[in-house]
Structure 1
Amino acid sequence: MEQVIRQICLGVEAQGMECRIFTLSRNARNKPVIHDGATAVYRAQVSIDVASTPMSWSAMQLFKRQCDWADMIHYHFPWPYGDLLHTLVRPGKPALVTYHSDIVRQRTLLKLYQPLMHRFLGQMRAIVATSPNYLGTSDVLAKYQDKVSIIPIGVDEQSYPKPDERLMEHWRGKLGEGFFLFVGVIRYYKGLHILLDALKGTDLRVAIVGAGPIEKALREQANRLRLTNVHFLGALPEADKMALLHLCGCVVFPSHLRSEAFGVTLLEGAMLGKPMISSEIGTGSSFVNINGETGIVVPPGDVSSFREAMQILTASPALAEAMGSKAKERFDTLFTAKRMADAYAELYADLARQ
């Protein structure tokens, strides 16, 4: 999410628009304002966390100050506390929201939150979905189709560090080349337990980059399965991640629940011409990865199908290379940061004229 917001700001600033970011932070007392290039990031101190939603007693005044400065306000959903801030502060400025994901897991709390959510979405002048797939499968977005635009997430290859040869040799010595790579926060919906089950009884090599709340359980699963062909690398700097993306043969993305709304890792793989394996969950992941063209899409949670997809790409390097080339072509056509920023700049201008 942070990378997406950063790319939007960089892109529209290049067209003469000034951006500020408002967020919450557990370190805001020490650094209430930080800068990323020309973009100032204003941070309110987190006071409490309710159902994985950070909240802040000081945010309302700080948010109002930024709303007074702004000509337009751009929210990112889901963030229930943002809905509350908008409702209480009532900025009186044109507002839009990028709708990244339905709320999937917290069904009981969702019933309590729905009135606020629909009040908030109803007050938005525009709602942006990040893929036609998500618009077509979201019951919430179906209620607001008349004001939904589709702007795919985009990234800029130039904004990523280029790994030097020393770093490449370091990882080549540890892992070789042509392995399968997963990158992401290790959460329940990422489907990594499916990936580990798919490795049982094979010599398929996998590297897992990232940390998260279920990492320990996954390591224990790998030990139970006696997997010697999977490497848990933990969280790594961007340069190391890019080195691994260059060296890998395929990006694997086993997310099996709709909490996975898009998959920036898939974009990063496509950006470097890598074939992909993902699951069909009705979200943006199948907008990035087209089955049979840029990679292979399998049913969610299907261990046998995921294993077979990995074996197919391992057995046919020519097919993997062709799919990687198609992935790069699709990235260049649809998923660049410039294309995303241009679309947002045009939407901002349209809303400002209303």
Structure 2
Amino acid sequence: MTKILQLGKFYPPFFGGMETVLKDLCRGLAEVPDNEIQVLCAEHSSTPSSKIDGKIKVYRIRNILTLFSQPLMPTYFFHLRKLLKSADVVHLHTPHPLAEFFLYLLKPKCPIVITHHSDIIKQRIVAPLHSIFARKLYARASAIIVPTNNHVTTSRLLPDFIKNIHCIPFGLNTESLIPIENLSINQNIESPYFLFVGRLVGYKGVEVLIKSMLKIEAKYSLKIVGTGPLKSELQSLVLKLGLDDRVKLLGRVDDPVEFSSLYANCLAFVLPSISSNENFGMVQLEAMYYGKPVIATQLRSGVPAVAEPGVSSLLAQVNDPDDLAKVMNQLINSPELTKKMGTAARERYLKMYRLETFISSHSKLYKKLLNEDN
């Protein structure tokens, strides 16, 4: 039996990109024979202190305060020390300063694997202090995983550990997505639309996307799926710009057929993010699953590397509605390019982003490290 301890800030039902990746990884690894998966994370709202998620034991530690996006858990050190005693591999998902610090202090004898989701972006005050012990922990790690090579080239931390880095792209969980062959595809070219899916928060750049529609031919529309604190503000912007007949904020779309059909019938998917807080963008994988071209922005993050620029995606300048409209018009003006990029997007998904590949790559890495350790 191989005991794998996963360390994340939170775990679903808490919603977030890191948490989704962690959940999919744990559930996949739990199906591998002779694996025992444990998760140590912070308690969120009313979630119980411990819970079984299928075959996974999740330990949720009481969080007394969240400071600089870090949950503070007074008993975390003791729970971590106890679980490390029986762990064969410990896998840390960063940034997670509290876990990084305690893992550095405890010096576990088992292999340490780190998935580097992002540098610390917003909390610049704590970044220098964090860097001191993070570098020491990363130097001790048996393997450091990144989902794109851009995560290395745009990081302040990772270039020093290049020899120990493994690129394992995230995998897409398609359980809630309806295969395109089971959907009704709308052939009505009189109502083509661009699609955005995501939380309505500042760094997503939805305001920029709405403004770009002023320079898009009137027969083309924009559908925005998601909710968040900026929904009312964005709705007001749509009305102010006179775009209410062409830009629709749909809110949450929970019905799998409706949600999947929005992807399957769109002209292209747009991710107009304006900050490196967006460091991957799993929604790009959903668009690629449905064979849709991706329009993203030239962020210094992993986002531009998810689809292949010029092959399955086009990139616009960051926070520039005019340039975004220019890129969108490239696809409008060339149906052949749109189709070609969509086909390439689907092929890239199949080659790089299947969940099975993501899980098996981790299993092989764990096995390799354990063999070396023995």
CA contact (8 A) 2:215 2:325 kept: no
CA distance in 1, matches of 2:142, 2:180: 46
Q: CA, structure 1 residues 341+219, in 2 after alignment: closer, same or farther (shift >3 Å)?
A: same
Say which of 227, 231, 234 aligns to 1:215: 231
1:271 matched residue in structure 2: 289
CA distance in 2, matches of 1:26, 1:7: 19
1:143 matched residue in structure 2: 160
Per the normalisation by structure 2, the TM-score is 0.84
How far did residue 205 of structure 1 move? 1.4
Say which of 82, 87, 93 aligns to 2:99: 82
Is it true that 1:340 corresponds to 2:358 in the alignment?
A: yes
CA contact (8 A) 1:290 1:297 kept: no
2:53 matched residue in structure 1: 36
CA contact (8 A) 1:289 1:297 kept: no
CA distance in 2, matches of 1:90, 1:346: 24
Q: CA, structure 1 residues 231+76, in 2 after alignment: closer, same or farther (shift >3 Å)?
A: same
Say which of 65, 76, 81 aligns to 1:48: 65
Is it true that 1:304 corresponds to 2:322 in the alignment?
A: yes
Q: CA, structure 1 residues 124+238, in 2 after alignment: closer, same or farther (shift >3 Å)?
A: farther
Q: What amino acid maps onto 1:153 in structure 2?
A: F
SS of residue in 2 equivalent to 1:57: coil
CA distance in 2, matches of 1:328, 1:163: 12
Paired residues for 1:67-146 under 5 Å = 67-146=84-163
Q: What amino acid maps onto 2:309 in structure 1?
A: N
CA distance in 2, matches of 1:209, 1:324: 21
CA contact (8 A) 2:224 2:251 kept: yes
Which range moved further: 245-254 or 211-220? Answer: 211-220
2:276 matched residue in structure 1: 258
SS of residue in 1 equivalent to 2:339: helix
Paired residues for 1:219-298 under 5 Å = 219-228=235-244, 229-237=246-254, 239=256, 240-298=258-316
How far did residue 308 of structure 1 move? 1.6
1:121-155, CA deviations, whole angstroms, 9 ceiling, x for partnerless residues? 22322111111122122221111112111111111
2:195 matched residue in structure 1: 181
Q: What amino acid maps onto 2:290 in structure 1?
A: L
Q: CA, structure 1 residues 216+62, in 2 after alignment: closer, same or farther (shift >3 Å)?
A: farther
CA contact (8 A) 1:277 1:297 kept: yes
Aligned length in residues:
347
Structure number with higher helix proportion = 1
Per the normalisation by structure 1, the TM-score is 0.88
Consecutive unaligned residues in structure 2, runs of 5 or more: 1-17
CA contact (8 A) 1:152 1:340 kept: yes
Consecutive unaligned residues in structure 1, runs of 5 or more: none
Q: CA, structure 1 residues 54+250, in 2 after alignment: closer, same or farther (shift >3 Å)?
A: same
CA distance in 2, matches of 1:145, 1:224: 49
Identity over aligned residues, as a percent?
A: 27
CA contact (8 A) 2:180 2:264 kept: no
How far did residue 242 of structure 1 move? 2.6
CA distance in 2, matches of 1:278, 1:146: 30
1:91-149, CA deviations, whole angstroms, 9 ceiling, x for partnerless residues? 43221110111122222221232213223322322111111122122221111112111
Q: What amino acid maps onto 2:240 in structure 1?
A: R
Q: CA RMSD in A?
A: 2.7
1:226-266, CA deviations, whole angstroms, 9 ceiling, x for partnerless residues? 32122222233372533322232211101122221111100
How far did residue 161 of structure 1 move? 4.3
CA contact (8 A) 1:97 1:128 kept: yes
1:147-183, CA deviations, whole angstroms, 9 ceiling, x for partnerless residues? 11111111143x2243999xx78x98xxx96421111
Q: What amino acid maps onto 2:213 in structure 1?
A: L
Which range moved further: 233-242 or 223-232? Answer: 233-242
